[in-house]
């Protein structure tokens, strides 16, 4: 479909492109297709890099979005799904404003705005979100739009940290910092590419490539499993978070409360003894269990007549643990 045979070029036939979008959505989200619900469809990937698209001119991303949205609008008999973009290499106000103005003027579907962020500085992720919220506040006529960081990581280039625990702790820290700040965060990619003669080569994958045998889960993949332990329940307030130490707490069913604590330092030198105080305990007797990421578990039985109990827990640089409180 691309002009001059270049996959990053503008389609030579917009009607064919619209049909491709329609059929893709019907195949994946269609009730008669794969029937996968709640898929997020992004129009292009890093258009400012792959293809050199602009928000104006002859190679205009808005043309691509228009015809993609028209194709999506013709998809029938589908399960719910999300449609948006622009999935740029970073958060850029001119791209987001240009897209929001365009869909508003042309009455096009836009469920979310998305961008990528690779950085070892957690504050950069929060800065992006603040800018997105500020901009979206000017488009109340469009209704509530989701914010999606559709690629996250410590480095946009291949990096050895993607093969070790640094990348995993970064994944955990980003997830904790962005809790309730954005609608969705995604990580890239599922498995390493096959273009290296080494099994581990700093690629972004959560798994190694099958070229080297059965895919092996990498630490960032283990981080996803670790985070899954915090799914569900009711979020509890956590106070006293610092520059390196971040936390998330959930009250689950069956008298179980979990607290995830992560100590992330890009320089890998900060260690800390973290004071943890539990308040409003429903029972004076409980089990307190610590499970370290990729480490051991240690439990202790606590008997107290107070509704408040404190402990100090050591964290080495770039480490994480989940504490579980089980009422008796």
Report whether pLDDT(47) > 90. yes
CATH topology for 235-327? Immunoglobulin-like (2.60.40)
Q: What confidence score (pLDDT) does residue 5 get?
A: 82
| pLDDT for the residue numbered 280 | 86
| C-beta of residue 148 within 8 angstroms of C-beta of residue 183 | yes
Of the pLDDT bands very low, low, confident and very high (cuts 50, 70, 90), residue 18 is very high
Could you give the residue range(s) of every CATH 2.60.40.1500 domain in the chain? 235-327
pLDDT at 61 over 80: yes
Please check whether the domain covering 3-233 is classified as CATH 3.20.20.80.
yes
pLDDT band at 60 (very low <50, low <70, confident <90, very high): very high
pLDDT over 70, % of the chain: 100
Tokens 């890099």 appear where? 49
**pLDDT score of 328 more than 90:** no
pLDDT for residue 57 is more than 80? yes
* Residues 139-189: tens digit of each pLDDT: 988 888 999 999 999 999 999 999 999 999 999 999 999 998 999 999 999
Does 282 have pLDDT greater than 80?
A: no
- Around Cβ 184, how many Cβ atoms within 10 Å? 14
Per-residue pLDDT, 225: 97
Neighbouring C-beta atoms of residue 92, cutoff 10 Å: 16
Q: What is the mean pLDDT of the chain?
A: 95
Task: State pLDDT tens for residues 257-278.
Answer: 999 999 999 999 999 999 999 9
The tens digit of pLDDT for each residue in 191-211 reads 999 999 999 999 999 999 999
Domain with CATH 3.20.20.80 in the chain: 3-233
Mean pLDDT of the 115-119 span: 98
CA distance 206 to 199: 13
Long-range pairs for 99-108 at CB < 8 Å and ≥24 separation? 99/55, 99/61, 99/62, 99/65, 100/135, 100/136, 100/139, 100/142, 102/62, 102/65, 102/66, 103/65, 103/69, 103/142, 104/139, 104/141, 104/142, 106/66, 108/65, 108/66, 108/69
């Amino acid at each position: 479909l691309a002009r001059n045979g270049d996959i990053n070029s503008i389609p030579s036939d917009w009607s064919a492109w619209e049909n491709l979008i329609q059929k893709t959505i019907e195949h994946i989200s269609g009730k008669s297709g794969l029937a996968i619900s709640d898929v997020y469809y992004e129009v292009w990937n890093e258009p400012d890099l792959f293809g050199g698209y602009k928000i104006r001119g002859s190679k205009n991303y808005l043309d691509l979005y228009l015809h993609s949205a028209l194709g999506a609008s013709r998809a029938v008999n589908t399960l719910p799904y999300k449609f948006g973009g622009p999935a740029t290499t970073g958060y850029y106000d001119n791209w987001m404003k240009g897209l929001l103005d365009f869909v508003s003027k042309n009455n096009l579907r836009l469920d979310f705005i998305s961008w990528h962020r690779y950085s070892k500085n957690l504050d950069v992720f929060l800065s992006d979100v603040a800018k997105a919220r500020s901009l979206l506040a000017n488009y109340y006529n469009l209704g509530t739009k989701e914010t999606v960081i559709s690629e996250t990581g410590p480095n946009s280039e291949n990096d050895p940290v993607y093969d070790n625990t640094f990348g995993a702790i970064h994944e955990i820290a980003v997830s904790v910092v962005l809790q309730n700040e954005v609608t969705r965060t995604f990580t890239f990619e599922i498995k390493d590419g096959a273009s290296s003669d080494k099994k581990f080569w700093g690629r972004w994958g959560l798994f190694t490539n099958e070229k080297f045998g059965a895919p092996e889960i990498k630490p960032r993949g283990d981080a996803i499993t670790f985070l899954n332990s915090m799914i569900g329940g009711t979020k509890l307030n956590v106070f006293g978070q610092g520059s390196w130490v971040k936390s998330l707490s959930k009250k689950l069913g069956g008298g179980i409360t979990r607290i995830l604590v992560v100590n992330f330092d890009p320089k890998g030198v900060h260690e800390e003894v973290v004071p943890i105080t539990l308040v409003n305990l429903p029972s004076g007797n409980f089990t307190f269990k610590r499970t370290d990421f990729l480490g051991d578990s240690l439990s202790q039985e606590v008997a107290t007549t107070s509704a408040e109990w404190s402990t100090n827990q050591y964290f080495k640089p770039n480490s994480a643990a989940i504490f579980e409180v089980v009422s008796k």
